[in-house]
Structure 1
């Protein structure tokens, strides 16, 4: 890529090999940050994994030392924040509901969903991790939801609930309040990662895991997933007022602007 050239747009590339549907999050130079088009393509991949009897496992993975470093902030600036005077609060609620539909589609996939993380899984990337069945972490993996430090927005109740199911309520609360990014070992210790592998073990370890899942009885795996969903079924609290307040705030506009300007944000609490 020549100096000054635009970064290639993100995409979710799918590849079905031996019953495993690979959904590869590709956004060069953006650490896999998710765009509107990528969310749509991820939803399509979930639909394929749910409908195609030839798919036995769905794998989410990144490229070049990345997984998904949240949502592309440029997209948030254009589609959520908008120009001064825009109703960013309403746009933020609509954005979170759209992402929520994709996450629900991921959770509804009847075959095992494996997230292979060897890079940052932050923000929406961490939400993908929370909605996956088995999470494999490589040595470059980082896990966190640092929006209180970076953009000043918040996340919906459904994502907090999914994280709490993995890491527990107390650890989830601390993760959100401190904006810490956990390395692979820390993530394994708190339950965000199920398998932690060194670089030289990663390819073989993932291959063995996928072989084991493909060799298992499909109806049994689907039943286990359905039981897990039923046990997790809860009535989530209304969160629209909180989403609207954060996305519609001056702090969110400052957070997005500061991120794009590559400077620390100046929070005012309004």
Structure 2
């Protein structure tokens, strides 16, 4: 692997019939940058067009500590005070998640360490998830950024965790561990950090030996049932109310200054 490839925000590896997409910003716990988001979208599109892979594994490059994806870069959120920018951020993120859900082959999330915000949404879009004991999954936005999710993303989380668990996660502003997700059957197994790559490959290879049309049809049917009744433009008001708020700008400033935000509810 060349130095240029090692420095790329996303790495691709092929292991037999399984394509691996590896988030590669370990110094910032693989936080999603615009470059990584674009690279992910292009890679997913290329996998769909090529058609030779029979499964995809998503995971994060390990730094000093393991991390799947620690949310999005805070710099991008700092620009979201403008209502149009807030909507654009959500819609662009939705484009990537929809592309993952539209793949005709099974997808696996191998999660360790931080799996927060955009990382948690990406994992929720995968068909199968496995987790290391180090996993910390969720959306602590009620104590960190003060924004909200789109209706589609709330629907994804409810589909994965259930409504009560989703609400408890947001209202407690805590990150869930692997045991929490196993209790909701959101993950298939808990695997040691140093074994998770091997297990992810095993799980992906097992999926490639099953009837591909059955797996694809099941995913698409469940997505249609999940998305039934979710309006495509029914959340602009709640998104702009949060993203354009004084609270969110204060929260970003507080995060960067490493202090507690002062919430005013406006």
TM-score between both structures, scaled by the size of structure 1: 0.89
Aligned match of 2:174: 180
253, 259, 265: which one aligns with 1:257: 253
Aligned match of 1:68: 69
Q: How does 1:29-178 map to 2 (within 5 A)?
A: 29-64=27-62, 65-77=66-78, 80-81=79-80, 87-178=81-172
Aligned match of 2:222: 228
Contact (CA 8 Å) 1:11, 1:27: kept in 2 or not? yes
TM-aligned CA deviation for residue 252 of structure 1: 0.7
Structure 2 CA distance for aligned equivalents of residues 155 and 215 of structure 1 = 36
13, 16, 20: which one aligns with 2:14: 16
Give the stretch that moved more between structures: 67-76 or 221-230. Answer: 221-230
Contact (CA 8 Å) 1:130, 1:159: kept in 2 or not? no
Contact (CA 8 Å) 1:10, 1:35: kept in 2 or not? no
Contact (CA 8 Å) 2:26, 2:67: kept in 1 or not? no
Residue 150 of structure 1 aligns to a residue in which SS? coil
Give me the CA root mean square deviation: 1.8
TM-aligned CA deviation for residue 183 of structure 1: 1.0
Q: What's the CA shift string for 1:131-183, capped at 9, x where partnerless?
A: 11001101211111111110111110111100101111111111111111111
Which structure 1 residue ranges, 4+ long, deviate > 3 Å from structure 2?
Answer: none
* Runs of 5+ unmatched residues, structure 1: 1-7, 82-86
Structure 1 CA distance for aligned equivalents of residues 8 and 75 of structure 2 = 12
Structure 1 162/247 Cα, relative in aligned 2: closer, same or farther at 3 Å? same
Give the stretch that moved more between structures: 26-35 or 239-248. Answer: 26-35
TM-aligned CA deviation for residue 128 of structure 1: 0.8
TM-score between both structures, scaled by the size of structure 2: 0.90
TM-aligned CA deviation for residue 204 of structure 1: 3.6
